[in-house]
Each structure stands twice: as C-alpha cells, then as structure tokens.
Amino acid sequence: MPRSSSSVRSFAREVALAAESLVRVFDRAEDWAIPRISPSQVKVLGLLRYRGQMNLSALADEIGAIPSSASRLCDRLEAAGLIAREVPPDNRRAVTLSLTKEARRRLESFDDARRGDFTPVLERMSPQARGALLEGLLAFGIAAQELRELPA
Amino acid sequence: MPRSSSSVRSFAREVALAAESLVRVFDRAEDWAIPRISPSQVKVLGLLRYRGQMNLSALADEIGAIPSSASRLCDRLEAAGLIAREVPPDNRRAVTLSLTKEARRRLESFDDARRGDFTPVLERMSPQARGALLEGLLAFGIAAQELRELPA
DNA sequence: TATTGTTATACTCTATAACTATA
DNA sequence: TATAGTTATAGAGTATAACAATA
C-alpha cells in the first residue's frame, strides 16, 4: 500500500460523489430498450460482454446475487435467446455462459442510446474538460482491470 | 447546437464505453448494505438526495418506471421508515416525497462503502490521471445540471 | 466430502388496467 | 375533462433452504 493511501482515500470520496451524475446518464439507456429488458438482465448481458464467458457462480458473484437467483435469471435469458448455456466436457459441473448474436445486437443498441444520452452533456463541457474526463475514465478502466488480475 | 456536435457525438461513444468500468465499481456499494436493500429502493433514495423533494410522477419518470410501480415502491420505503409522503395544502393531489433521517444515514453508509471500493483503483492511477478524472466528473455534473435546468 | 448448479417456496418488484380524488 | 395517485391482478426477480450431480 503506497504512502499516499490515506489522502487517496479522502480523494476517493470526492470521486465517488462526483461520479453520481455520470452514472445516472449511463443508466438511462435501459429505458430506451425495445422490447423492454429488465435491469437485472441488462446487468448480466453487459457483464458477459465486459468480461467474456463465465460460469454461473462467477456471474452471480459479480452481479451481487446468489447462484440460485442467477440461475433463474439465466433461465429467462436463455428462453429469450440472449445467452447460451454450455457444459464443457472437461468439467461437466461448470456451466459456461455466453452471449448470443442477438444479445450483442441488443447491447449495441444500448451503446447507441448511451451515446445519444451523453452527447448533449458533453457538448456543454469545454474541450479540456471532455479530454480530462475521457483520459480519467480510460485510466480508471485500466487500473480496475489490473486490480482484478492481481490475485489471479 | 455548436458546429462541433458531430465530432462530440463520436467522442460520446468513447466516453460511454470507457465509463462502464467506473459504473461497475460505483454500483458495487449496494452489495454491502446491511440490512439488504433492493436496487430499486437504492435508486429512489439516491435520486431523492440528488434532486431533493419530488412528487410521485416526477420520481417515476426519473427512475424509468410508471407511477403505479413507483407508488408500490414508495409503499415499502415508507413502511421501512425511509421516506415520508406528505400532501401539500396548496395542491392536495400532488404527494411530496422526502427522505427520513434514517434514509440519509443509510445513504452515508453507501458513500463509505463506495469510497472503499474506489480507493484501491485510484491508488493504481497516476496523480495526473486521478486529477483528470475528478476534473472531468465535476465538469460533467455541472453540465448535466445546466442541461436539466434549460427547459424549465 | 466439497463444489457447481438446479428446484420448491415465499416475498419483492413491475406493468397493465381499472379506479378514486383533486384541479 | 384532465391530472395525480392508488389498488387488483399477474408475471418477473430474488433469497432461503433443500436437492442432484460431478470432482
């Protein structure tokens, strides 16, 4: 732990509070989905794209649910043709979950909706502030990924 | 609409994609809540703090639900002692919703949990990138608020 | 014996539609 | 007559607990 950790910890509070506005704009895209898809289902699809294939326990862990709930969620996503369950031959008790092509299309339409939600806000920002935001978000994403890969 | 709008629109796609990692860390705080509180309820409480008092229709609009669903949500939040419904004398068909002190305490514990989730990621970022992130998020928040106040 | 995942049950969340009350 | 909000019903989401199958 670096010596700066205590000051970073108080800095983290400012970032967490400042992030709220952006998170609200980010989440708005769900409202435009046609046909309507539940927040839980969006969370699962987004996670599978973000992280790639996962088994059910890992998925449950990431979305903050228990395996039972995740299993039921996957029942409906599978029935809707948005995910595929596959049993790998080398470990027949671990189910591999993956996105269908239709799910990827749906996710892309979310991206489009989000772009539309972000545009008017970004237009009101100075070019410098826009640049800072993108730089900061990209660095955050890299740091988060490094952190995930550490204990592995 | 500024002349730069088309380039901002493509920039917006980058921002929207880069934001995903931060949103995931932001949302993680819900998992630490004791006692457990549903994502929908968290959304309502966070919104009421962010925007201040609202009536039921406005709330429903903001969380992407219909008044009926929002009313049921408020039933449970009221029963849990987290929000108060009040009928203003000047317009007796508009219900004013507000947070209780207990709700504010719960929200502060979310803030603490978030700070804890953000800290290790921020620690892995350069001071410059951290600064850029906070600067960008603050500017975004201001722009979003200005935008909301425009049509009013 | 521990791990991975699925069902049985009960409660919460949500939308559609029908309703009450206020403006 | 239009608006703000609340109920009736039914389907989706979730946790607890009990279970089956694989390692």
Specify the DSSP class assigned to residue B4. Answer: T
User: In the structure encoding, which two tokens stand for residue A91, read together?
Assistant: 């470990």
**In sequence order, what are the beta bridge partners of B98?**
B84
Local confidence band at A64 (pLDDT 50, 70, 90 cut-offs): very high
Mean pLDDT, rounded, for A90-115: 94
Q: How confident is the model at residue A4 (pLDDT cuts 50, 70, 90)?
A: low
What's the pLDDT score for residue A32?
87
Closest alpha carbon within chain A to B132: A132
Task: Flag whether pLDDT at A3 surpasses 60.
Answer: no
Q: Which 54-83 residues of chain B approach strand C with CB closer than 7 Å?
A: 64-66, 68-69, 72-73, 76
- pTM recorded for the entire structure: 0.92
What span, in angstroms and rounded, lies between the C-alpha atoms of A64 and B32? 9
Q: How confident is the model at residue B5 (pLDDT cuts 50, 70, 90)?
A: low
CB contact B22 to A (< 8 Å): yes
- Say how many C-beta atoms besides its own lie within 10 A of residue A53's C-beta: 14
CA–C1' gap, A93 and D17, in angstroms: 21
Burial A65-101 (b: 16+ CB within 10 A, else e): beeeebeebbeebeeeebbeeeeeeeeeeebebebbe
DSSP 3-state of A87: coil
**CB-based contact A130 B21, cutoff 8 Å:** no
- What is the pLDDT confidence band of residue B118, given thresholds at 50, 70 and 90? very high
Which residues in chain A have their CB less than 8 angstroms from residue B64's CB?
28, 30-31
Question: Is the Cβ pair A140, B115 closer than 8 Å?
Answer: no
